Chains A and B, each alone.
Chain A
Amino acid sequence: EAGVAQSPRYKIIEKRQSVAFWCNPISGHATLYWYQQILGQGPKLLIQFQNNGVVDDSQLPKDRFSAERLKGVDSTLKIQPAKLEDSAVYLCASSLDGSSYNEQFFGPGTRLTVL
């Protein structure tokens, strides 16, 4: 079974620029998560989708971050404008259903460096 795909794997931008990340979850997984992992910290949930609806975006900095999940499959996470503190690895994960503790499967992440 194919895993969670993410692109790009690495991105370097200057502050105030925009950037977008893409995630393709495992086929059939209804729930999709975006996490931010800052160096030296564990992953922090930014947003959770159930199909194409948002379940939880309480930790998403909505003044600069946005995310969508088109047709309940692929998802994009955008940062506009980026700040230095946004430098992190952005992880996408998916699970069968977010209404229980089904296993979350993680992609390899996108490492963002903001200069």
Chain B
Amino acid sequence: AQSVTQPDIHITVSEGASLELRCNYSYGATPYLFWYVQSPGQGLQLLLKYFSGDTLVQGIKGFEAEFKRSQSSFNLRKPSVHWSDAAEYFCAVGAGDYKLSFGAGTTVTVRA
């Protein structure tokens, strides 16, 4: 069965600084990978997804993620963080059954 590990429970970053969130997955075949963001009191919103092709994918809100098969990773990055990026971020993996398995999430705090 597929699974996702997000090693960092909480990250604090200064506004304007770069951000990288780690995600490692476990799945025997080519995974379908997703990043979602959950702002306080809101539902999850899809930031980006990887199915195949170019391993660097661009998403909404200035986020990007890179798929590295050799490292079983799909890390999320943003070059310059805004205060509105404070939220919880979830990595998810899909197998062939079109269902998603989510990681435990990383909470991002942005300091002024």
> Which residues from chain A sit less than 8 Å from chain B, CB to CB?
3-4, 40-45, 48, 56, 91, 93, 98-101, 103-109
16 contacts between A and B (CB under 8 A): A3-B43, A40-B105, A41-B105, A42-B90, A42-B101, A42-B105, A43-B44, A43-B90, A43-B102, A45-B99, A103-B49, A105-B43, A106-B36, A106-B43, A107-B43, A108-B42
Give the number of residue pairs across the A-B interface with Cβ within 8 Å.
49
Provide the main secondary structure of the chain A interface.
loop
Category for how many chain B residues contact A:
20 to 34
Q: Is the CB of B46 within 8 A of A101?
A: no
Which chain B residues in 93-112 approach chain A with CB under 8 Å? Answer: 94, 98-105
* Residues in A whose Cβ lies below 8 Å from that of B4: 42
Complex formed: what's the CA distance from A103 to B105 in Å? Answer: 19
